[in-house]
């Protein structure tokens, strides 16, 4: 027996945002989702959507269709009209066929490659996955849904695979735990909706939002501990100009070049000659922890963009200087998960 699984608050159906759990429909939906999770267990990667885990229900349109058919049946009975019966029965047959078609449009699809691209707090985190059609008939209108956000539609011809993504809103730094991913289809007529729930081990990282205005980073090389730029050092290491970004030190602006154009050019210096910079928690003046993390995040981004090696030192974590995207990710993750970032990143 798997342990009784409960979703954290706020994972329930609804149009936008987590609805209150006092809503009985939301409670029921939540219960059903939990039931599906217990019934299916956790998923690996890839997951084949077997027939038994594809659920199906009529949509509102489908219920409307049933009502319309009932009306037609009454009319045909009332007028005792066999052609009226013929039309009603043909449409009823079509409805039944549609139900099977919709279910089979989804079952057998293989989902794989679940991952959430890291994002900054407040910016959407992109959940990506790939769907494959191993069958010999085409599939249409496949859609991924996660946390009430829906992706675009995907058609797959036999043997083909394709990517879908959803952009999940985030509010604060931390882990973005994907409890459940839905793969939906309402093909062919939108009368029925078939769906499968996936529970892959899939966690995204939401970095702190980078500070918009940040003091210049401490430099391990030509910049001294107080942040003053020593003009004599490093002039030989001048590597080029780049455009101004918020947080750049005014002393780095190439004023002569700026006089010639509209842009504010900023001098760049080759990192290797500068030595490695340490981005340090303690180098910042007294400010709240989240603000500190934002500034550090900005520093990491700038240092990475600047191309030099840098290290990160925050309470409890020290990442030695290095370079490259993996290092950047490591540093930003450390910031994201700094004490207080253990909670869910969606608020």
Question: What residues contact residue 259 under an 8 Å CB cut-off, 6+ apart?
Answer: none
Does 85 help bind other proteins (rule: CB under 8 A)? yes
Q: Which two tokens stand for residue 227?
A: 């942040």
Q: What is the closest distance, in whole angstroms, from the C-beta atom of residue 90 to other proteins in the complex?
A: 4
Convert 152-163 to b/e letters by CB count within 10 Å (16 or more is b).
eebebeeeeeee
Q: Counting contacts by CB under 8 A, is residue 98 touching other proteins?
A: yes
87 binds other proteins (CB under 8 A): yes
- Minimum separation from the CB atom of position 48 to other proteins (A): 11
Is residue 222 within 8 A of residue 308, CB to CB? The reply is no
Q: Which of 13, 48, 66, 75 binds other proteins (CB under 8 A)?
A: 75
* Nearest distance in Å: CB 282, other proteins: 52
Q: Which candidate, 234, 246, 244, 320, places its Cα nearest to that of 280?
A: 320
Angle at 250 between CA 249 and CA 256, to 5 degrees: 130
For residues 91 and 322, which CB has a smaller minimum distance to other proteins in the complex? 91
The verdict on 343 binding other proteins (CB under 8 A) reads no
Closest residue by Cα to residue 340 from 184, 199, 220, 175: 175
Mark the segment that binds other proteins (CB under 8 A) among 32-40, 98-106, 248-256, 274-282: 98-106
d(CA 180, CA 311): 36
Q: Which of 8, 17, 64, 320 binds other proteins (CB under 8 A)?
A: 64
Binding residue (CB under 8 A) for other proteins from 77, 201, 203, 291: 77
Residue 258 binds to other proteins (criterion: CB under 8 A): no
Helices (H), 245-287: 255-260, 271-274
Q: Report how far residue 293's alpha carbon sits from residue 277's, in angstroms, rounded to the nearest whole number.
A: 17
Other Cβ atoms less than 10 A from the Cβ of 77: the count is 12
Instruction: Determine, following the binding rule CB under 8 A, whether residue 230 of this chain makes contact with other proteins.
Output: no
Q: How far is the CB of 109 from other proteins (least distance, A)?
A: 9
For the bound state, the minimum distance from the C-beta of residue 154 to other proteins, rounded and expressed in Å, comes to: 8
Q: Give the per-residue contact string, 130-169, with other proteins (x = CB under 8 A; - = no).
A: ----xxxx--xx-x--------xxxx--xx----------
Q: Whole-angstrom Cα distance, residue 329 to residue 301?
A: 10
Site string for other proteins, 172-201 (x = CB under 8 A): --------------xxxxx-----------
Cα radius of gyration (the chain): 28
The nearer residue to other proteins, 22 or 82, going by C-beta atoms, is: 82
* Interacting residues toward other proteins by CB under 8 A: 61, 64-65, 68, 72, 74-94, 96-98, 100-101, 104, 107-108, 134-137, 140-141, 143, 152-155, 158-159, 186-190
């Amino acid at each position: 027996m798997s342990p009784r699984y409960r979703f954290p608050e706020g994972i329930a159906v609804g149009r936008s945002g987590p609805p209150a759990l006092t809503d009985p429909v939301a409670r029921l939906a939540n219960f059903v989702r939990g039931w599906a999770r217990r019934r299916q267990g956790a998923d690996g990667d890839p997951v084949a959507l077997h027939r038994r885990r594809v659920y199906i229900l009529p949509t509102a349109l489908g219920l409307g269709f049933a009502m319309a058919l009932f009306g037609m049946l009454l009319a045909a009975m009332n007028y005792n009209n066999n052609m009226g019966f013929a039309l009603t029965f043909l449409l009823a047959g079509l409805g039944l066929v549609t139900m099977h078609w919709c279910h089979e449009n989804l079952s057998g699809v293989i989902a794989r490659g679940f991952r959430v691209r890291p994002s900054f707090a407040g910016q959407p985190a992109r959940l990506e996955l790939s769907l494959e059609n191993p069958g010999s008939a085409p599939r249409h209108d496949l859609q991924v849904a996660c946390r009430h956000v829906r992706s675009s539609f995907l058609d797959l011809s036999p043997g083909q695979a394709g990517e879908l993504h959803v952009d999940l809103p985030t509010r604060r730094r931390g882990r973005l735990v994907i409890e459940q991913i839905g793969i939906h289809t309402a093909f062919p007529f939108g009368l029925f909706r078939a769906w499968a729930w996936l529970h892959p081990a899939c966690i995204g990282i939401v970095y702190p939002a980078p500070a918009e205005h940040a003091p210049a980073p401490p430099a391990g090389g030509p910049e001294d501990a107080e942040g003053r730029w020593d003009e004599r050092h490093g002039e030989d290491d001048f590597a080029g100009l780049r455009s101004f970004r918020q947080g750049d030190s005014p002393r780095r602006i190439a004023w002569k070049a700026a006089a010639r154009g509209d842009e504010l050019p900023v001098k760049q210096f080759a990192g290797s000659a500068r030595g490695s910079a340490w981005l340090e928690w303690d180098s910042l003046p007294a400010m709240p922890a989240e603000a500190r993390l934002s500034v550090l995040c900005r520093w990491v981004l700038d240092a990475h963009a600047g191309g030099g090696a840098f290290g990160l030192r925050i309470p409890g974590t020290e990442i030695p200087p290095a370079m490259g995207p993996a290092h950047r990710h490591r540093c930003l993750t450390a910031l994201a998960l700094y004490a207080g970032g253990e909670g869910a990143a969606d608020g």
